[in-house]
Amino acid sequence: MPLISRKANSPLKKTAMSNILINLATKDDAGLIANIRCNAILSQPADIWSKDELKRAADAFDERYLLKEIELGQPFYIFNNLTSSLGFVSWRDDYLAYLFVAPEGQNMGLGGKMLKFAEERIKAAKHDKVWLWSHPYPEKFYERHGYIKQPSTYAPFGLPLNKFEKQL
């Protein structure tokens, strides 16, 4: 996948996977990233977490928080087609900090491509594993991609997240 820089704040809609472009987010993209994250969480069914718990998770990292991370040098890569921003991924060393796919981009293989993109770069930086905190909804996704659930739980906003690791 080529790394192509362009403005990322266009409307969301379905896309073919062959037309995916990747750009490094700028400070101007913090609101877009926050919206993708929020919409991805709120689109989950309220069968594991209640609607109130999903809302609390969605509100945990707002535009100001994500802007601060960008200003501090945290790289965010936005996955787009020619007209839409469909998801983003971000990591720090061997820690996969964010991987969110907008509802309109889900179930098309984009999450797997984003995960592979991050894993390749983490490995190129000489790390032999990748780890992350996951809320319950994407756990099966990570397991399908070779991640193993660890015996640790973290609850940064009062909701449990489980640790996953994968050897690279």
pLDDT at residue 124, rounded to an integer: 97
pLDDT at residue 17, rounded to an integer: 53
Please, where are the H alpha helices in the chain?
30-42, 51-59, 63-71, 110-124, 139-144
Tokens of 57: 């998770």
Tokens of 55: 């809302």
pLDDT at residue 66, rounded to an integer: 95
Task: Read off the pTM.
Answer: 0.86
pLDDT at residue 18, rounded to an integer: 65
Question: What is the DSSP secondary-structure string of 94-133?
Answer: TEEEEEEE-GGGTTTTHHHHHHHHHHHHHHHTT-SEEEEE
The pLDDT averaged over each successive group of 10 residues in the chain (168 residues) is 39 52 95 96 90 90 94 96 91 97 92 96 97 92 97 80 95
Q: Identify the three-state secondary structure at position 54.
A: helix
Q: What is the pLDDT of residues 135-164, one digit of tens each?
A: 888 999 999 999 999 988 877 778 888 999
